[in-house]
Amino acid sequence: MSAYDYDLFVLGAGSGGVRASRVAASHGAKVGICEESRVGGTCVIRGCIPKKLMVYGAHFKDEFENASAYGWNVESVTFDWSTLISNRDKEIDRLNQLYIGLLHDAGVDLFSSHGSIRDAHTVQMNDGTQVRTQNILIATGGVPSLPKIPGIENAVTSNEVFHLRSLPKQIVIVGGGYIACEFASIFNGLGANVVQLYRGSMILRGFDKDIQKFVYQEMIKKGVEIRLNCEVSKIQNSNDHLNVALTNDNTITTDVVLYATGRKPNTANLGLELAGIHLNDRGAVIVDEWSRSSVQSVYAVGDVTDRINLTPVALNEGLCFAETTYGNCPRRMDHINVASAVFSDPTVGSVGMTEDWARKEFGNIDVYLSTFRPLKHTMTGRDEKTMMKIVVARQSQRVVGVHMAGADAAEIIQGIAIAVKMGATKAEFDATIGIHPTAAEEFVTMRKKCSD
């Protein structure tokens, strides 16, 4: 008789945890998983999916305006916040039930509770239930990070913003990363007056510098007020509105303040220190290339490890862990050339190195850059541009970075990412025949280098 109740017990039923659980169970492991919130995790419940549905909703405003140029007479267009939110929530409920069903069908035992680690082989739930398990997987994701300023309790985060009862007329969004830019574009598209505050000198830190500047300019053209080098000192609740005091002594009056200043690993109250599991200075679980922590029987995947905080990465890390540990098929997650997207308006798609990163890595590089008006807007007259950029290591002529901002950028970059992952050269891009007329064909027709 086994000394353990489970072969694997997972903390957190988000993307990485669910994937690891199902794959491990498919290889014959007895698996349990606990989740104190809804099954599906940040991506499904309060992240990627509900956000993308709201992005779709926000784009209709421009589409209705563009329609007249193509002969459509669209009259009496109105927007109803409650309809959008109700239909979005129905889809999230469906996905939540789907994930629960996937766990059930895989034979994974689900505990609707917070779990913490008591030792290398013991997990305890809030109700006092303890399980003994051969291995533990931490997949608790991340949580919003908030500064300690007076009145911060008056702000909402990227969790609560999905549950606003009505569309605010005025909203202040604090932050310059992808979450802040996405929600700024969403609320602007839905008709709110948006002021975005960022303490840095340019939004989208970490992205290519030309992408940063381009998105900044395009968002401003679309009506988002972006204030750079700007910080909040306090937030004061004044009955029916909020007063946001800035460090430059200015004050903004608004209905809602959304703090989107980043997320941190969700490792609090898990008993990790008690179990001897090492964390880094950001509170992330330190793991090796096999996702194993400092404790032999404890692993971690996803945002809780603070490697690359993207849902597809968590899914793949979970898969690699389960295949290695239970499928007799050793696999390590390759974190090189992982593509990403920002669903701001304009959308950003990116894979590989930025220009600055490539210069530091290779010294001599070739850069190809193209900015143009999409064919669609030659008839609408809208002042909307698309930007594309290719970064090439000069000596090898390998394409080491591709970046785009504009309509369908995420969809286009997904295909380009395959070529970059395979090590394609600029000559191979050039030899590829484009699909005409599309924006994507620009990536295989750019011939003129930018000057050094």
Entry pTM: 0.96
The number of residues making up the chain comes to 452
pLDDT in tens, 261-293: 999 999 999 999 989 999 999 999 999 999 999
The pLDDT value given to residue 75: 84
The pLDDT value given to residue 451: 67
The pLDDT value given to residue 2: 78
Annotation marks residue 436 as catalytic = yes
Instruction: Look at residue 294 and give its three-state secondary structure.
Output: coil
pLDDT in tens, 52-77: 999 999 999 999 999 999 999 988 89
Is pLDDT of 79 > 70? yes
Mean pLDDT of the chain: 96
Report the run of H or E that residue 360 belongs to, with start and end.
helix 355-362
Confidence band for 360, pLDDT divided at 50, 70 and 90: very high
Contact 387, 355 (CB under 8 A): no
Catalytic residue among 27, 114, 241, 436: 436
Q: What is the distance of C-alpha 103 from the center of its chain? A: 24
State phi, psi for 11 to the nearest 5 degrees. Answer: -95, 110
Nearest to 350 by CA among 209, 179, 186, 198: 209
Nearest to 306 by CA among 321, 334, 287, 329: 287
Question: What are the helix (H) ranges across 191-246?
Answer: 209-221
- Hey, what domains does the chain have and what are their CATH numbers? 6-143+264-326 (3.50.50.60), 152-261 (3.50.50.60), 346-444 (3.30.390.30)
Report the run of H or E that residue 6 belongs to, with start and end.
strand 6-11
The pLDDT value given to residue 452: 63
Residue in the block written with tokens 């090796």: 288
